[in-house]
Amino acid sequence: MNQGAVGGKLQLEWQSMELHHRSTSNSIIVPVHNSECWLDECLKSVWEQDFKGTMELSIFNDASKDGSAEIIEKWKIKLEEVGVSVIIGTNDSSQPRGVGFAKNQAVIQSSGTYLCFLDSDDVMMPQRVRLQHQVAIQHPNSIIGCQVRREPLDSTERYTRWINNLTQEQLLTQVFTSHGPTVIMPTWFCSREWFFHVGRFDEGGKGVPEDLLFFYEHLQKGGGVFRVDHCLLLYRYHPQAATHSVLEGTIWNHRVRFLEDRVLSSWTSFTIWNAGKQGKKLYRSLSPANQKKVTAFCDVDEKKITKGFYTYEESEERPKPKIPVCHFRDATPPFVICVKLDLTGGAFETNLGTLNLKEGMDYYHFN
60 and 175 in a single domain? The answer is: yes
Q: What is the dihedral of CA 182, 265, 248, 152, to 10 degrees?
A: -10
* Predicted local confidence at residue 155, as pLDDT: 85
Residue 14's pLDDT band (cuts 50, 70, 90): very low
Helix, coil or strand: residue 88: strand
Please give the DSSP secondary-structure letter assigned to residue 359: B
* Predicted local confidence at residue 11, as pLDDT: 52
Please give the DSSP secondary-structure letter assigned to residue 119: -
With beta carbons less than 8 A apart as the criterion, state whether 99 and 242 touch: yes
Residues of the domain holding 193 = 22-246
145 and 38 in a single domain? The answer is: yes
Q: What are the pLDDT digits (tens) for 54-94?
A: 999 999 999 999 999 999 999 999 999 999 999 999 999 99
Nearest to residue 296, comparing CAs of 250, 333, 349, 255? 333
Strands 224-236 and 123-124 come out as antiparallel
226 and 295 in a single domain? The answer is: no
Q: What are the pLDDT digits (tens) for 155-199?
A: 889 999 999 999 999 999 999 999 999 999 999 999 999 999 999
Please give the DSSP secondary-structure letter assigned to residue 329: G
The CB-side HSE value for 198 (13 A sphere, CA atoms) comes to: 27
Residue 1 lies in a domain: no
* Predicted local confidence at residue 21, as pLDDT: 41
242 and 297 in a single domain? The answer is: no
Residue 18's pLDDT band (cuts 50, 70, 90): very low
89 and 182 in a single domain? The answer is: yes
Residue 259 lies in a domain: no
Question: Among 246, 275, 299, where does a domain finish?
Answer: 246
Q: What are the pLDDT digits (tens) for 308-324?
A: 999 999 999 999 999 99
* Predicted local confidence at residue 13, as pLDDT: 46
With beta carbons less than 8 A apart as the criterion, state whether 72 and 101 touch: no
* Predicted local confidence at residue 178, as pLDDT: 93
Q: Is the pLDDT of residue 244 over 80?
A: no
* Predicted local confidence at residue 110, as pLDDT: 97
Cα angle, residue 175 at apex, residues 170 and 181 outer, rounded to 5°: 105
Average pLDDT over residues 45-60: 97
161 and 303 in a single domain? The answer is: no
- Kindly report which listed range (10-24, 140-154, 341-355) carries the lowest average pLDDT score: 10-24
- CATH classification at residue 195: 3.90.550.10
Q: Is the pLDDT of residue 343 over 50?
A: yes
Average pLDDT over residues 38-42: 98
218 and 73 in a single domain? The answer is: yes
Q: What are the pLDDT digits (tens) for 277-293?
A: 999 999 999 999 999 99
Q: How far apart are CA 336 and CA 294, in angstroms?
A: 10
Q: Is the pLDDT of residue 236 over 80?
A: yes
208 and 278 in a single domain? The answer is: no
CA distances from 38 to 106, 154, 260, 292, 317 (A): 19, 19, 40, 51, 56
287 and 355 in a single domain? The answer is: yes
Please report the DSSP string for 3-72 in residue order.
HHHHHHHHHHHHHHHHHHHHHS-EEEEEEESS-HHHHHHHHHHHHT----S-EEEEEEEES--SSHHHHH
190 and 298 in a single domain? The answer is: no
* Predicted local confidence at residue 240, as pLDDT: 64
- Kindly report which listed range (4-13, 198-207, 262-271) carries the lowest average pLDDT score: 4-13
* Predicted local confidence at residue 75, as pLDDT: 98
Q: Is the pLDDT of residue 7 over 80?
A: no
301 and 239 in a single domain? The answer is: no
* Predicted local confidence at residue 59, as pLDDT: 98
Mean pLDDT of the chain: 92
